[in-house]
Structure 1
Amino acid sequence: MTEKKRGRPSKFDTHVQPHLDNGNIRKWILEGKTDVDIARIIDINPDSWAVYMKEREEFSETIRGFKDLTNDHVESKLYQNAIGYYYTEETVSHKGEIVSVKKYAKPDVRAQQFWLKNRRREVWRDNHDINIDGDLTIDIKFVDENEQDSE
C-alpha cells in the first residue's frame, strides 16, 4: 500500500510551469522583477518559490540563466557609461521637421569608480590592509611642572 502525501499539493505545475513555458517568467526577470515579485504575480508564496529553487535543479538553473542574461546586460551598460558612447536622438528642427541627431554621452566617473572597485578590488578599493612587521618602542618622559619652572 502506498502512502499518500500529506498537506497541500504543490502549485508548481499549475502556477509556475505555465508561466515558465509561455516565457512570462523570463520576460519578468529581464524586466528586473525579483523572485518575490514573480511569486506574487503568479499567486504563490515567496517561500514556495524558494523551495522550488532549492528542490528543482532544472528550474533553478533556468532561473539563474535568465538572471545571468539580465546581469550581463546591466554590466554591458555600466561599461558603456564608464567609457562613454554615441547614441542617436530624434528632435524637432527649427523648420518643424523630425531629425535624427548623433550625440555623445561622456564617460561617467562614478561608473568608472564602481567598475574598477568591483573588477580590480585589490588596487581600487577604498580601504587597504597594511601590515607592518617589527617592534615599535615609544619612550614617554614625564616632566614635573615644578622642575620646569625652576630652570
Structure 2
Amino acid sequence: MAGGRKSKYQTHVEPKLLLIEAWARDGMIQEDIAKKLGVAMSSFSEYKNKYPELTEALKRGQEVVDVQVENSLLKRAMGYRYDEVTKEASRELDEETGEYKTIMVETKRVTKEVQPDVTAQIFWLKNRRPDVWRDKKELDANVKASKLEDLL
C-alpha cells in the first residue's frame, strides 16, 4: 500500500499496541478491546491472524493477569496471614512553621490468619491434576460378547 490509503489496522490498532497490552492486562476481553478501537470483532480476529505483533501484545497482557490470578488462587487455597493496621489522626506541631499538622499514627497492629479455602483447593486440584481429581472418570467399556453371555 505504498502511498495509498492506510488500513484501519494501521490507523486504529497499530498505534495503540501498548494500550491494547495494558487493556488485556487489566482483564478486558477482546470484544471490548475491538469496540474501544472502533473495529469490528471479525476484523480484529483477522488482524490477530495477519499481524503477529497484535497477538503478542494480547498475550503479554493476559499472561501477567493470569499469573497474578494463579498466585491469588494458590494463596487462598493454602491460607495466609496478614497484618491489619489501625491508624488514627493526630496533631503535631511543626517547629519550623509553628503550625499544627495532622498526621496518621499507627495505633494497633494485629496479625490475622485466613484459613485455607477448600473450594479453592478443589478448583486448583481439578484443573492441575485432572487425572486424579476430576469428577468424571473414564472407564474402559470394551467387554467381549462371550463374557457378557456368561454373565447372563
TM-score w.r.t. the length of structure 2 is 0.72
Larger Rg: 1
Code of the residue aligned with 1:54 in structure 2: it is N
1:74-89 mapped onto 2 (5 Å cutoff)? 74-89=69-84
58-67 vs 118-127, which moves further: 58-67
Question: The residue matched to 1:52 in structure 2 has which SS?
Answer: helix
1:43-122 mapped onto 2 (5 Å cutoff)? 43-91=38-86, 99-122=108-131
How many residues end up aligned between the 2 structures?
131
Matched with 2:23 is: 28
Code of the residue aligned with 1:77 in structure 2: it is S
Matched with 1:10 is: 7
Code of the residue aligned with 2:139 in structure 1: it is I
Question: The residue matched to 1:126 in structure 2 has which SS?
Answer: coil
Distance 1:100 1:13 in 2: 54
Identify if the C-alpha distance between structure 1 residues 102 and 10 changes in structure 2 by more than 3 Å, giving closer, same or farther: farther
Flag the structure with higher strand content. 2
Question: The residue matched to 2:7 in structure 1 has which SS?
Answer: coil
**1:90, distance to aligned residue in structure 2 (A):** 3.5
Give the ranges of 4+ consecutive aligned residues of structure 1 lying more than 2 Å apart after TM superposition. 87-93, 96-102, 130-134, 136-139
Question: The residue matched to 1:68 in structure 2 has which SS?
Answer: helix
Distance 1:65 1:56 in 2: 15
Code of the residue aligned with 2:55 in structure 1: it is S
Code of the residue aligned with 1:19 in structure 2: it is K
Distance 1:53 1:47 in 2: 10
Code of the residue aligned with 2:83 in structure 1: it is T
Question: The residue matched to 2:27 in structure 1 has which SS?
Answer: coil
Cα deviation digits, residues 68-126 of structure 1 (max 9, x gap): 22111111111111101122333468xx9654433221111011001100111010010
Distance 2:109 2:23 in 1: 32
Distance 1:88 1:18 in 2: 44
Alignment gaps of 5+ in structure 2: 89-104
